[in-house]
Amino acid sequence: MSRLLRPARMLLLGPPGSGKGTQTERLRKQFEIPGISSGDILRRHIKDGTEIGQLASSIINQGKLLPDDLMTKVVASELRRRHWLSPSTSWLLDGFPRTQAQAEMLDAQELGPANAGMNLVVELQVPEDAMLDRIANRLVHVPSGRVYNLTYNPPKVPGRDDVTGEPLSQRPDDDPAVFRKRLNEYRASTEPLVEYYKNSGDVLWSVAGETSDVIYAQLEREVVRRFGESVDESADNGFGGCWSGRLAFVNNN
């Protein structure tokens, strides 16, 4: 059973290697909220050899950010294509907006007019060595965006995606030297973004932890507190009134 009490439109902010892709994936599965990742959209453009992909490829490999107006157009067209610009929708964004200018454009041009403003912005705080370790051990399946970690979440067959069996690859920007650049870019662009959301009502929420499990437990509690309810199924589960621990949501799009 799933039931959503209020629409949840969320953004996850976190430095490279902070595990925001993993957190997004867990939220999507548990709460049945659809999501998009700007990095995944760009990697698909690169794979398909589009004009945007050609531009993105060199910028991404240098650890730099794409221009704000281009990124806003790319993501806005995806939001429109999915009919997500409506107050009753729930969704998760990963990687966009990444700068204050992107957030301002997104709010002014798309979310504001549609009365579909973001209602939770999560800032992930992870120690630097944990992030470095994560990017060194990360493999991705580009067509789906599925992410594996050689230590915590290895593929069943080495080097192959669990679902399709297709080859996995290491991201060219997952290199310690490029990581340093990406981290600096992230800090420079995200601090103003965090400030922006601090001044946008009660949407910003920060969470700290070393592992994805520690962070996810807190994140899950916060999402339930703001948008949902924990459903106690103990009345009819035959376990003598024990808490079943199951969380249930409805996506009422």
Instruction: List, by residue number, the catalytic residues.
Output: 20, 98, 138, 171, 182
State which of residues 59, 76, 136, 231 lies at the interface with ligand AMP (CB under 6 A): 59
Give the number of other Cβ atoms within 10 Å of residue 151's Cβ: 11
Judging by DSSP bridges, how do beta strands 120-125 and 138-141 pair with one another? unpaired
CA dist 188 and 86 (Å) reads 32
Task: Tell me: does residue 39 bind ligand AMP (CB under 6 A).
Answer: yes
x/- mask, ligand AMP, residues 15-34, rule CB under 6 A, reads: -x------------------
Stretch 70-129 residues interacting with ligand AMP (CB under 6 A):
71, 95-96, 98, 102
Task: Tell me: does residue 149 bind ligand AMP (CB under 6 A).
Answer: no
Residue 251 structure tokens? 């996506």
Measured from the CB atom, the residue of 98 and 134 that comes closer to ligand AMP is 98
What is the rounded end-to-end Cα distance, in angstroms, of the chain?
Answer: 16
Q: How many residues bind ligand AMP (CB under 6 A)?
A: 16
User: Which residues, at least 6 apart from 6, have a Cβ–Cβ distance to it below 8 Å?
Assistant: 226, 227, 228
Work out how close the CB of 178 gets to ligand AMP at its nearest, in angstroms, rounded to a whole number.
9
Check if the beta carbon of residue 118 is closer than 8 Å to that of residue 84: no
User: Which residues, at least 6 apart from 152, have a Cβ–Cβ distance to it below 8 Å?
Assistant: 212
Task: Tell me: does residue 132 bind ligand AMP (CB under 6 A).
Answer: no
Measured from the CB atom, the residue of 47 and 64 that comes closer to ligand AMP is 64
Stretch that binds ligand AMP, among 57-65, 196-204, 205-213, 226-234 (CB under 6 A): 57-65
Task: Tell me: does residue 134 bind ligand AMP (CB under 6 A).
Answer: no
Nearest CA to 189 out of 103, 79, 72, 69 is that of 103
DSSP string across 34-63: -EEEHHHHHHHHHHHT-HHHHHHHHHHHTT
Measured from the CB atom, the residue of 7 and 15 that comes closer to ligand AMP is 15
Check if the beta carbon of residue 66 is closer than 8 Å to that of residue 56: yes
CA dist 53 and 76 (Å) reads 17
State which of residues 52, 60, 139, 147 lies at the interface with ligand AMP (CB under 6 A): 60
State which of residues 9, 138, 146, 182 lies at the interface with ligand AMP (CB under 6 A): 182
Task: Tell me: does residue 38 bind ligand AMP (CB under 6 A).
Answer: yes
Contact residues: ligand AMP, CB under 6 A: 16, 38-39, 42, 59-60, 64-66, 71, 95-96, 98, 102, 173, 182
